[in-house]
Structures are given as C-alpha cells and as structure tokens.
Structure 1
Amino acid sequence: MNGKQPDTALDIETLVRARYALIILETYEEDRAIAMLGEIAERTGRLLVTWSVTQGLRTIDDEPYADEGSRDLLNAFNAIEAKKDSLIAVFKDTHNIITEQNPMVVRRVRDLASSLKYGSDEHIKTVILLSPVVRIPADLQKSVSVITLPFPNKGDIDKVLSNLLISQERNAKTDADKETIKEIDKELSENGNRDTILKACLGLTLNESEDVLAKSIVSTHKIHPAVIIQEKEQIIKKTGILEFFRQEENLGTVGGMDALKSWIQKAKMRNSKEAEKFGLRLPKGILLIGYAGTGKTLSSKVIASELGVPLLRMDMSSISSKWYGETSSKLKQGLNQAKAVSPCVLLLDEIEKMFSTGDGGSQAQGHEETLRAMSVLLTEMEENTEPVVFVATCNTPYNLKPELMQRFERIFFVGLPNQEERAEIIKIHIAKVKRNPDDFEIDKIVEATEGMVGREIRTIIQEALASAFYEQAKDVTTEHIVAEAKNLVPMSHQKQAEFGELRKWAENKCTMATSPLPAQVKKKPEKSRKLEMTG
C-alpha cells in the first residue's frame, strides 16, 4: 500500500484531550478497538471502563464498576455522571438503542454530552460509542464526532501471523506437527512469500486474518494464498456491501470497442515498476455510460483481469438506508475495504441509482444523506492515494452532478455495436457454446441482429441452441440463430427515441468506446475535354 494509513489512535487521543464528550468509533473489531483505547486511557491518565447490555459497566480487568442496574443504559449513564473518576467509558452496541424510536434515550445522551463537556475539571470523562454501523438520530448530529477504525495494515497482520506460528509450535502434539510449523515459517521467509501472504489478508479484520491463516495451516499444512483468497471472497460477500469477482475475462471476450480496449492496454502498461519510476500511477477511474446490455460491466471485469488485480463490485442501490449516516457509513466502509485490498478495481455499478440529482427540487437533490454520501465518494476519489481504480457504470447519466463526472479521468460512451462489432460478438458467443464460428454464416447473423446489443445476441444464440435441441437436430445452425433473431425485438427498436436521445447527449460529452468508421470518400469524376471534330 502506497498511502499513509490514518493514525486513528492519535485522532481519538486528540479529541479526548480536547474534552470532546461524545465520540462514535465505527468498527467491527471490539477487541482491537478496546486495546487501543486502553493505551489512550493510560497515556491520558484515565480509567477505562466498558458497558454492554449483558454485563453492565465493568473495568478493563473485568471487575464490576457499578451495580447490576447499570445493565440498563440510562442507569449506566447516571453512574458515569456520578463517578468521581477521570474516565474513558466505552459503550458497545448502542446503535440499536440510541435511535429516533427512543426519544428519552436520545435526550439523555444530549444531556450527558453537555454535562461531561462542561463538568468538573478534576474528573474529566469521555463517552465512546463502539459500533459496527453509524446510526445518528437527527437530534445528536451536532453533539457527536465520528471516527472509523481502518482495516489492519500489513504490520498488524504480521504480528497475528507470528503469534499464530508461535502458539501452534508451542501447542503441537507431535514432533511431526512441530516440524510442519517450522517448515511453514521457513517457506514464509523465502522469496517474498511472507509479504504475499500479508497482502492476501489485507481487507480482513485481525480475527478474520487469524481464522483464515489457521484454516490454511490445518487444511493444507501450508499457508497458501489461494485458501486465503477463497475465504476472503466469502467474508467480503457477507458484509453485503462488496462482492468479490474472480478474473475470468480478457480483451478477447469483448467484441468491438477498440477505443476502450486501447485505453485498457495503456492502463495495463501503467501498472508496472517502470511506469512508477517514470512518475505514472494507475488511472483513478473511468465512467462507462451507455445502454443496458452493451458490455459495461463486462468491460470492468476485463480491466481488472488485464491489470491482474481483484475486482470488487459495489451495488449502489444496496447500500442505501433510511437511517441518518448509515448510507455514507456503508459507502465509507466499502471504500476502506477496497483500499485495504488494493491494488484493485472497484466497480460502482449503476451509479445513477444513488447519485442522480433528479429534476430541480426533487427529493434526491435535497436528500441530505445522498449529498453526504456523494461528498464521501468525491473526497475519496480526489484524495485517495491507494491503487484503487474506480470504474462506474451508468445507463441514464442526465442527472449526474458535474463534479462527480469530473472525478473520472475518462468518460466512455458504449453504444450499439456496428456490423463489424456484431460479427465479433457473434463469434465470441458461438465459441462460448463450444461451436466453431467458421461453421456458421456470420454475415447472415450480422444482418439479422441489426440494432441488438451484446446481451441480446447472447440470448438468441442460447435460444437457438435450445431450439436445435428440442428439434433433435444434429446441431445448431445459422438458420436456428436467424430464426431466433426474428423472434426478438431489440430494445433499441422498442425505445428508439430514448436510445437516440442518449446518443445525442453523449456526442459532445464522452469518448466513443468504438472509433467511428472511416467515411467513404466519393470519387470525383475524371476531367475530360470534349473535342469538336471538323467534318
């Protein structure tokens, strides 16, 4: 990772010393967070206490700090307020309790924040709400500061790996098991293997890293990157924010779009040590605009494959939430995970579903949470120093904010494939059903698929295959494909006006993914003199 990781401990300590009364620390890693807060408490001369609904208030040594009544959140607040200690009080899982549905609790939190901020100079107290998600009732928005604990870096994971190997060797039941651990440790020290393993664990919590490393040792008697990546896919998928895609596409699986392909090849050249020494970095991102089914998402997979990095997909509609702060929190969490996994390609699929401004005065334009989330994305794209390539797709770009579009280094318009491109697409999909394209009359199929996008061409070839099977034909033929093409009315014909409008919009705003065909030059008639012959 090239960027400098935020010093979250320093940020929190600064707020504590500045007497901020109420802080939200967003993280799934309770143990890691509490260990960090314990160090801050020690440096600032505070006592660290924790609260949960099951155990009430307890000290860091797991001793009761108040009576059993402190399991009630309001009673716990009262106890904190009354204690004659300088404190950092960590409250767990309050995002399900401090909500707009509990106005009395929200009011008590506001009172507590004011009381602690302007209370005794002798007994200074800070309340930290530890939560995996940020949900801030509107009444508390101005009373709380929010800090996100970033994913562990390679140094953090390296400590976990070292401790795991030490404990495994110590607890080995046989000499053979001890030798296995020693062999693993030896392999890790060779040819940069340890660094490869640490990179593979980026984007996971410390507990998740320890689990996948342990699983690899148990299942393969090695620490194998493939095992880690496989587990990592499942872990990332469980968050519901990002989806991990395997790289199975390449430039050969995309028909046409020569200008976009040229950009991808140049981006690949920039992913090298030579380019880095020259002062080049990976592109920050591109925006792919066009009709549905034209290959925008496929192109993002090809970009990741050609760069040799993972592809993470963020479905913009899935991270929207009715809770104040949760949409931007989910977006930030996904961006942080992408940075931790980097280098990678981050696909923001159908970006207009979240960031379209709508018509003047529309709800989307004025929705504060949408604006907050957009601010998070704009800042990240502008200031991020990690090798994350943002690839956004969009079907209807008319209401995208200009400042969002300006964040992308290149905006491509992916239109309807021309004849040559349809021929390429047809051959690709015929080959995908394990048939030889040379056995088909491609020109006839090209003519029959006028106005179709790649997805529609794939559909008719699949349907032709099914028809041939139902007929018990020897094999699928050109005639089967042409017949299926006649049964499908292309979307470009059904929505001719909309397709024309989008094409017109894109002409002066985008780079065409397909280079225009050279205009045919009309031959001028040859000059000749007409002679008048004498008799």
Structure 2
Amino acid sequence: MQSNTLVWRVHVSSLQQTRSLVASYLRARVPLIIVESIEPGRVMELLRDVADEIRSMNFYEHSRTEGIKDLLTQQTMGDDTSLAAALDQARVTFKARKNVNFVLTDVEDLADETSTSRHLAEMVRLAETCSGSIILIESKPVWGGLARQGMSVALDVPTTDELVRTLQGIIDDHQGVVTVEWGTAEVRRGAEILTGITETEAVNVLMTMLANKHLANADLAQLSEYKDRVFGSLAGIERVPLREDYRVGGLQQLQDWLVDRETLMKADLSTTRLHPPKGVLLVGVPGCGKSLSAKAIAHKWGLPLYRLDMAGILGMYVGQSESRLREALAAADRVAPCVLWIDEIEKALSTSAGDGGTSRRLIGQFLYWLQESTSKTFLVATANDVTTLPPELLRKGRFDEMFFVDLPDSEDREEILRLYFDRYLDMEIPPHLAAELVDLTHGFSGSDIDSVVHAIATRMYTKGTTVLPPEQELRAWFADVVPYRRSNEEDVAALRAWANGRCLPAGTPRTAGHAGTATATRRLVVA
C-alpha cells in the first residue's frame, strides 16, 4: 500500500527537542523516520534513551561492522553483517510481530533512485502495514521517493548549553588528576567558543588540552585555534593572522564605545534578555584606520578575525553570488565568537540596475542575517564610497552604530607620530620636534604618516645608523608628501557632508573651542 504521508523535515537545535520528536513519530507509528545528522554516535545515544523510555516496542540496530543487534541489550542477532541480511531479517520480523523498529546506519546510494533506495522504499511500505518503523541515520538528503513515505528531523550540532554539560562532565572526571583552573564562567566561555562543532570534536579538543596535565584560564585562547583546525577551509571567509602590536592612534570615541561591546561579547547572556552586539560600520577617509581598527578590536578582545571578501562573493552565474554569501555568513556563525571584517562593503552591496537584481538579493540576504543572527559574530564593516550604499543598510538598528573616521586632528596626529616613531625607530620624538611635525602633517592621513616614518626608518637602516637625520632633513621628508586631503579635497568634503548628522565621530568630537567649527554636538560637525 502506497503511503500518503508527506515528508516533513524539522530543524531543531536541542537534543531534548529531537528526542521528543522522534519519540512522537514512533508512537504515531510513522513507517520511516529519517534523522539527518553528521553525528551518528550522538543519534544512537538519543535512540537508546527513546528505546529505554518506550519499553513496549522492540528496537534493533544494524551497522556494516557488527550486523544486527538489540539496541538496548546489544545482543547480536546473527553473523551476517550485510545490509541485505538486515533487510531480510527486518522483513521476517515485521511479518511476525508488531511495533518493531529497525535502525539503519551507513546505508549507501540513498541520495537518488537506485536499487537500494527502491528496495528500502518497499520495506517501508511493508513496515507500515505491520505497524513497524525503519529509522535511518543519514548525513545527506535522501531520494524524494523514499523520504516522502515518512518524516525527517535534522539534528544540529550541540548547543552552547549542551556543550557546557559535556565539557563540565569531562572536567569533573579529571578532578584530582589534572590541575584545572576553569570555573563555571570559563567552562561557559569555552563552550561558546566551541559552539558550531560536533560533540566528538569538542571532546577531542578538550581531551587534547587536558593531556598537558594543566588547564589554565589562559588556555581559552587556544580553543579558537583548535576550532580553526576542525573547520579547515571555510566557505567564503578567511582567517586573518594577528600580530602582537596592533595599536590605533586616536579614534578615542570609537575605542570608548567598544568597551561595553567587549563586555557583552565575553559575557554569558543566556540568563538575560540581552542580545550580542551586531557590529559597527566605519565610514570615512581612506588611510585613517578603518581596517586597522578591525584587527585591533579582534586582538584586544582575544577573538579570531575573519575577513569576508565581498568582491570574491560575486559569481558568474545566476544565484551563485547569493549561495556564496549564504555559505559565508553561515560559516561566520559557526566559528563565533569572532570578529567578522568586511572591507569596502560597498563593492558588493552597492545598488545597480544592470546586474539582474543580484545586488538587491544580496542586500536582502545580508540584512536578514544582520537581523536574525544570534551568534556572537561582531561585524566590522568599512566603506569609502558611501554614496552607493543602499539606504536600508544605513537605517538605525542595522548596525549598533555608524562612525565617521576623519583625518586626524593635531592631538591624534601627535599620538600617531609617537606610535610610529616607537614602532619603526624605537625612540621618542623630542618635544620641540613633535610640535613642528604635528604642524607639518596637517591634512595627513594615518597611512601618510606611517609611510613617511617607515621611509625614514628604511633610510637609517640602509645607512647602518640609529641616529635620526638632521631636523631639517626630517622636515623635508614630511614637506615633500602631498597629503590625501590636498590631493582629494572634494572627496573629503563630500564624505564629511554625508556623515554630518548620520554618524558619530570616531575621533575626539569637535567643540566650540576648536577654530573653524560650529557649536558642540553629539554628531559630526563639518569644519
């Protein structure tokens, strides 16, 4: 008899919810139950719990290595381990008794219509007439002709709460054997970092760390590295290696704003109604620290930094770009907590009438992810050409905040000069020279200052000296540079005009005490 049961695939994130659904399907005598998961061992534990709960039914499992066994007692039912023998045993058992369930794993050739999938479909129809059920554990989709005869449920990887219990259980087992500094907060933090990988992978990571006989709080930083090795090459995003010397000159208001977001990113929010911070959009003059800020945030917070190349997302074929973006954002959710850096976001999300609607679909998909994602993925997006950005991306609430990164003022330029003199020359600027160089660098971007000080350091290195050139020569190095403001005066003015009233200033807000500015305001004031 052909079943009229439609296929329903339910995605659930909780092991308890999955267990409840499977138990309901079994009590309803659904003839085919497909559990989609990349963790067959975890599914088998779930099924043993269900079998122990529903004692009125018999459960048998089959694997290619051990053949047919009773699911609860693990008693072997025969020596033949082939799938054909298992299906024949199921046929005989279904006809002899009611309420019998067979769990099948490692079944090949089920993705398409094959002799195996057709044979299994016939067995499902027999099970239905005999009040039996076949439970398939699969990591890939099953042929529609087979799947439509039953119900499907997709078991996701463990939630953070489930990983907390797993990690805590392992740590409890090693108390007295391994020196463990982790308390409840560290276990929770570790679980958050590992969220997105399988239970087995999480166990392997923790056991590898415990093999050192000492689990320190500082070891939490290693979890992201282990997680990277688990995922390998992630679709659409790349890990950006971080140095130890990321320092940003100026941008004090941005740095002050980030303090609370760091607290939220590292806090356990499961007992609150707060959601993790979404991220920040940095708009402004090229070379003034937008990209450097993304690296500095990740370094300061102790989180991995991933870069999403929006230009590389764009594909040749219809639907390819959307698929790549969806995969990349899903990968970012899996590796969370992390900082996700999107450089020059306008390159992919600018509106265009000649792309067949691709840009509009990408914008919609990206905005949906921004709104719905609950992972601790802190987005740092940068933009230079803001005129092409879609208005819906800039609406309040998309990002936590938008900051305008302007050319550094005199105070910020002095800080940047001192920073690069320390980095490249390992020395401090004499006070009288610092004041002169601050005046000489009026209109310079941070990268302009970086390039000049680096050039001075290069000249000193090639000459084999650690002595600064004469002050007149130093002034000449800076005086010979055409700063960005002078060469792109119209672009800078347009950026400032756009940012006025839309963005917070990333640097020190201008006040009435600064010459050439209007009265003080929370928003950017155009000079």
TM tier, smaller = 0.5 to 0.7
The one-letter code matched in structure 1 to 2:46 is: M
Q: Deviations over 1:398-419 (max 9, x none)?
A: 3356267523221112122233
Matches for 1:144-223 after TM superposition, within 5 Å: 147-151=155-159, 152-163=162-173, 165=174, 182=176, 184=178, 188=180, 193=183, 196=186, 199-200=189-190, 202-204=192-194, 205-219=198-212, 221-223=213-215
Matches for 1:107-122 after TM superposition, within 5 Å: 120=128, 122=131
CA distance, structure 2, for counterparts of residue 412 and residue 509 of structure 1: 9
Matches for 1:241-320 after TM superposition, within 5 Å: 241=234, 243=239, 253-265=247-259, 283-300=277-294, 302-303=296-297, 309-317=301-309
CA distance, structure 1, for counterparts of residue 125 and residue 291 of structure 2: 51
1:233 equivalent in alignment to 2:225: yes
Q: Deviations over 1:464-514 (max 9, x none)?
A: 201122233442445665555567655666665555444433323222213
Q: What is the number of equivalent residue pairs in this alignment? A: 463
After TM superposition, the structure 1 stretch with the greater mean CA deviation from structure 2, 11-20 or 226-235, is 11-20
Equivalent in the alignment of 1:350: 343
Equivalent in the alignment of 1:506: 499
Q: 1:48 deviation in Å?
A: 6.8
User: Alpha carbons of 1:231 and 1:6: their partners in 2 closer, same or farther (altered >3 Å)?
Assistant: closer
User: Alpha carbons of 1:201 and 1:484: their partners in 2 closer, same or farther (altered >3 Å)?
Assistant: farther
User: Alpha carbons of 1:305 and 1:115: their partners in 2 closer, same or farther (altered >3 Å)?
Assistant: same
Equivalent in the alignment of 1:455: 447
Equivalent in the alignment of 1:464: 456
Secondary structure at the aligned position of 2:398 is classed as coil
Q: 1:331 deviation in Å?
A: 2.7
Q: 1:333 deviation in Å?
A: 4.5
Task: Select 2:418's aligned residue among 421, 427, 432.
Answer: 427
> Is the 8 Å Cα contact of residues 287 and 445 (structure 2) preserved in structure 1?
yes
CA distance, structure 1, for counterparts of residue 122 and residue 483 of structure 2: 63
Q: 1:461 deviation in Å?
A: 1.6
CA distance, structure 2, for counterparts of residue 107 and residue 490 of structure 1: 72
The one-letter code matched in structure 2 to 1:347 is: L
Q: Deviations over 1:133-180 (max 9, x none)?
A: x9999xx9xx976553235421111122334x2xxxxxxxxxxxxxxx
CA distance, structure 2, for counterparts of residue 136 and residue 353 of structure 1: 41
> Is the 8 Å Cα contact of residues 414 and 512 (structure 1) preserved in structure 2?
yes
> Is the 8 Å Cα contact of residues 240 and 305 (structure 2) preserved in structure 1?
yes
Equivalent in the alignment of 1:516: 510
> Is the 8 Å Cα contact of residues 328 and 372 (structure 1) preserved in structure 2?
yes
Equivalent in the alignment of 2:523: none
> Is the 8 Å Cα contact of residues 21 and 125 (structure 1) preserved in structure 2?
yes
User: Alpha carbons of 1:214 and 1:195: their partners in 2 closer, same or farther (altered >3 Å)?
Assistant: same
Equivalent in the alignment of 2:402: 411
1:10 equivalent in alignment to 2:17: yes
The one-letter code matched in structure 2 to 1:442 is: A
CA distance, structure 2, for counterparts of residue 58 and residue 423 of structure 1: 76
Secondary structure at the aligned position of 1:255 is classed as coil
CA distance, structure 2, for counterparts of residue 6 and residue 351 of structure 1: 34
> Is the 8 Å Cα contact of residues 316 and 351 (structure 1) preserved in structure 2?
no
Equivalent in the alignment of 1:390: 378
CA distance, structure 2, for counterparts of residue 463 and residue 93 of structure 1: 63
CA distance, structure 2, for counterparts of residue 462 and residue 475 of structure 1: 15
The one-letter code matched in structure 2 to 1:10 is: Q
Secondary structure at the aligned position of 2:418 is classed as helix
1:442 equivalent in alignment to 2:449: no
CA distance, structure 2, for counterparts of residue 295 and residue 237 of structure 1: 30
Task: Select 1:332's aligned residue among 320, 330, 333.
Answer: 330
1:375 equivalent in alignment to 2:368: yes
TM-score where L is the length of structure 1? 0.65
Q: 1:212 deviation in Å?
A: 4.4
After TM superposition, the structure 1 stretch with the greater mean CA deviation from structure 2, 17-26 or 392-401, is 17-26
Q: 1:235 deviation in Å?
A: 3.0
Secondary structure at the aligned position of 1:294 is classed as coil
CA distance, structure 2, for counterparts of residue 118 and residue 402 of structure 1: 55
Q: 1:14 deviation in Å?
A: 2.2
User: Alpha carbons of 1:402 and 1:270: their partners in 2 closer, same or farther (altered >3 Å)?
Assistant: same
Secondary structure at the aligned position of 1:391 is classed as strand
Q: 1:24 deviation in Å?
A: 7.2
CA distance, structure 2, for counterparts of residue 489 and residue 429 of structure 1: 19
For structure 1, list consecutive stretches of 5 or more residues without a partner in the other structure: 99-103, 166-180, 523-535
Secondary structure at the aligned position of 2:379 is classed as strand
Q: Deviations over 1:26-55 (max 9, x none)?
A: 65x553344335535665758575778xx7
Equivalent in the alignment of 1:399: 389
User: Alpha carbons of 1:126 and 1:256: their partners in 2 closer, same or farther (altered >3 Å)?
Assistant: same
The one-letter code matched in structure 2 to 1:390 is: F
Q: 1:297 deviation in Å?
A: 4.0
CA distance, structure 2, for counterparts of residue 136 and residue 437 of structure 1: 72
> Is the 8 Å Cα contact of residues 24 and 147 (structure 1) preserved in structure 2?
yes
> Is the 8 Å Cα contact of residues 328 and 369 (structure 1) preserved in structure 2?
no
CA distance, structure 2, for counterparts of residue 56 and residue 370 of structure 1: 51
> Is the 8 Å Cα contact of residues 40 and 137 (structure 2) preserved in structure 1?
no
Aligned CA-pair RMSD:
5.4
CA distance, structure 1, for counterparts of residue 199 and residue 483 of structure 2: 51
CA distance, structure 2, for counterparts of residue 399 and residue 489 of structure 1: 29
CA distance, structure 1, for counterparts of residue 500 and residue 165 of structure 2: 49
User: Alpha carbons of 1:24 and 1:223: their partners in 2 closer, same or farther (altered >3 Å)?
Assistant: same
For structure 2, list consecutive stretches of 5 or more residues without a partner in the other structure: 1-11, 95-99, 518-527
Secondary structure at the aligned position of 1:441 is classed as helix
CA distance, structure 2, for counterparts of residue 116 and residue 24 of structure 1: 15
User: Alpha carbons of 1:465 and 1:357: their partners in 2 closer, same or farther (altered >3 Å)?
Assistant: closer
Equivalent in the alignment of 1:528: none
User: Alpha carbons of 1:41 and 1:208: their partners in 2 closer, same or farther (altered >3 Å)?
Assistant: same
User: Alpha carbons of 1:373 and 1:123: their partners in 2 closer, same or farther (altered >3 Å)?
Assistant: farther
Q: 1:222 deviation in Å?
A: 2.1
Q: Deviations over 1:359-392 (max 9, x none)?
A: 2463563686875565344211xxx3x7x37232
